[in-house]
Structure 1
Amino acid sequence: MLDLAPVALPAGVTLRLLHPDDGPALAAAYTRDRTRLEPWEPERPESYFTPEHHARTVPDELAAHRAGRTVPCVLTRDSEVVGRVTLSDVVAGPFRNAHLGYWLAGAVTGHGVMTAAVEALVTHARDVVGLHRLQAATLPHNHDSQGVLARTGFEKIGYAPRYLRIAGAWQDHVLFQRILHD
């Protein structure tokens, strides 16, 4: 999988590939925004918020990247991680598809950061990874995330009842896609 060069985004944020030493910064970011993220994410064990957990999982993510199965990125400002944007479940062959997932720290929301990050990763997915389609899913009441998807050219394609286990319950999701090649 070809690497993604760092991309400057609004509010002094940079989009870049995950680094092997990002574990402590990831743990700090998830801890800092834990309460804000809990309604939108799977339940996490206490160990998830430790540097040791991320030190163990970062190498797995980087191995999956080298194998072409994911594009794991972080959003940084100064030395802090302030978000993630990831292409996961990358499928080659006739499908050429991936799932898009993201989150952003409360301190940098409202400045166009995530819109710019998603657009940069869409370009990478099309021009470097060679994907044809990206898909994303949001909780029905996550209007901020749906706004990011709308601003970056994703279209609503459906509704999936009890799609993912989020915040301790199987929750419905709105499904989106963006076709990258016409």
Structure 2
Amino acid sequence: MSGGWPVELREGDVVLRPIRLRDQRAWQEASRRNRDWLRRWEATVPPAPTGRTAGPRPTYRQMVRYLRSEAAAGRMLPFVLTYQGRLVGQLTVGGITWGSMCSANIGYWIDEAVAGRGIMPTAVAMAVDHCFQALGLHRIEVCIRPENRPSRRVVEKLDFRSEGMRPRYLHIDGDWRDHLVYALTAEEIPEGLLRRWRLR
């Protein structure tokens, strides 16, 4: 991914930049303030087959070290989202696959206090353009629980194509949950997704 990471992407007051250890206080404060807003959509670890409970959640520092190592290996782009200089969310391009597939998936969350202002669609559009134009990926997927209307509105505003349901796709909020699949390929947006979003 030479030239594709680390990178800072900016559109007005909306900025995506690599997550840092020194973001800990702001990240934890945003996560704590939005706990009820986000809990239903957060990934969880399924119980081990023997019935043993999962170990403790990783600390912030462990999480950042893991994300950075995945980025260094070319498998992930771990961004934080800032708006008007304040950390308001996170966007991760994950599951980056090269070779004959050249694809990735995007996951995201945003502070409820700034949701609905077009911030996350702008961030997703910037990330998709970076993946297609700078990295040379071909396909981006976003998988969302059917009940998560705010998250679905993000991809619908950006005209992602709906590709149907993946039953029991991810372990979320303590159980295996169905997810709707949305996708775009590079050929569908030759002009760039951010440009198309700006013109809406």
TM-score (norm 2): 0.80
Ranges in structure 1 where 5+ consecutive residues have no aligned partner: none
For residues 1-182 of structure 1, the aligned pairs below 5 Å read: 1=1, 2-3=4-5, 4-9=7-12, 12-43=13-44, 48=57, 53-77=59-83, 80-181=86-187
Report if aligned partners of 2:9, 2:126 keep a CA contact under 8 Å in 1.
no
Instruction: Return the offset for 1:19.
Output: 2.2
Report if aligned partners of 1:82, 1:104 keep a CA contact under 8 Å in 2.
yes
Report if aligned partners of 1:36, 1:106 keep a CA contact under 8 Å in 2.
yes
Percent identity of the aligned residues?
32
Structure 1, residues 56-105: CA drift from partner, whole Å, max 9, x if none? 22122112112111011111245642111110010011100001101111
Structure 1, residues 87-133: CA drift from partner, whole Å, max 9, x if none? 00100111000011011110111110000000000000001111000
Structure 1, residues 143-175: CA drift from partner, whole Å, max 9, x if none? 221121122231111211111111112111111
Q: Which structure has the greater CA radius of gyration?
A: 2
Extract structure 1 runs of 4+ deviating beyond 4 A: none
TM-score (norm 1): 0.87
Ranges in structure 2 where 5+ consecutive residues have no aligned partner: 46-53, 189-200
The number of residue pairs the alignment matches comes to 177
Instruction: Return the offset for 1:181.
Output: 2.9
Distance 1:69 1:24 in 2: 26
